[in-house]
Amino acid sequence: MTMFMDVHHGMAGITAEQLKAAHEADLAVQDREGVEFRQAWADPESGTVYCLSSAPSKEAVQRVHERTGHPADEVHPVPLQI
Amino acid sequence: MTMFMDVHHGMAGITAEQLKAAHEADLAVQDREGVEFRQAWADPESGTVYCLSSAPSKEAVQRVHERTGHPADEVHPVPLQI
């Protein structure tokens, strides 16, 4: 499993409730892709959301996000962490 | 204190040792700005590095990174987290 950071743009005005709902939707379907979403951070002002996950591939991360209606604009493997 | 996610581009080929050295350089000078770097992730292929910190301001985060020779390309407050 590799760690991935994915980024969503265009989410200006996102609320804590919306972030929670989106994250929970991902958690509800992630098992079928072998993905585990760990953390998420949002900047409502610039409309940027970052999600950290462990997953078998970039495509698996994207499939979860697509299934829950919020495809990521970027998905980067982040094999180095500190 | 607010949480911030900052992003560095153009770091293609970064190694685990280089990420560690950069992070430790930030830790060594962060106190004077009231910044606390928490985690960092790197994608050596696309050359992207993400750093998570808590800090009094975006400018304080950037001042630490500038002082240690690796200014961030983006610094976003991420007041929402899950």
- pLDDT tens per residue across span A36-56: 999 999 999 999 999 999 999
Rounded Cα gap, residues A7 and B75, in angstroms: 14
Q: What is the value of ipTM here, to two decimals?
A: 0.90
State the DSSP string of B10-24: --TT--HHHHHHHHH
A82 and B40 within 8 Å at the Cβ level: the answer is: yes
DSSP state of B45: T
Is there a contact between B26 and B64 (Cβ–Cβ < 8 Å)? yes
Q: How confident is the model at residue A29 (pLDDT cuts 50, 70, 90)?
A: very high
The reported pLDDT for the residue numbered A26 is: 97
The reported pLDDT for the residue numbered A21 is: 96
Rounded Cα gap, residues B10 and B52, in angstroms: 18
Give the global pTM: 0.93
The reported pLDDT for the residue numbered B1 is: 87
Q: Which of B19, B76, B82 sits opposite A19 (nearest CB)?
A: B82
- CB neighbours of A82 closer than 8 A, spacing ≥ 6? B19, B20, B23, B39, B40
Q: Which of B42, B45, B80 sits opposite A41 (nearest CB)?
A: B80
- pLDDT tens per residue across span B52-66: 999 999 999 999 999
- pLDDT tens per residue across span B33-42: 999 999 999 9
A40 and B77 within 8 Å at the Cβ level: the answer is: no
A80 and B41 within 8 Å at the Cβ level: the answer is: yes
Rounded Cα gap, residues B82 and B76, in angstroms: 16
Chain A contact set for B50 (CB, 8 A): 5, 50, 78
Chain B contact set for A48 (CB, 8 A): 5, 76
B1-19 burial: b if 16+ Cβ within 10 Å, else e: eebbbbbbeebeebeeebb
Q: How confident is the model at residue A1 (pLDDT cuts 50, 70, 90)?
A: confident
Is there a contact between A4 and A53 (Cβ–Cβ < 8 Å)? yes
Is there a contact between B41 and A81 (Cβ–Cβ < 8 Å)? yes
A76 and B16 within 8 Å at the Cβ level: the answer is: no
- pLDDT tens per residue across span B17-28: 999 999 999 999
Proportion of chain B above pLDDT 70, given as a percent: 100
Is there a contact between A6 and A39 (Cβ–Cβ < 8 Å)? no
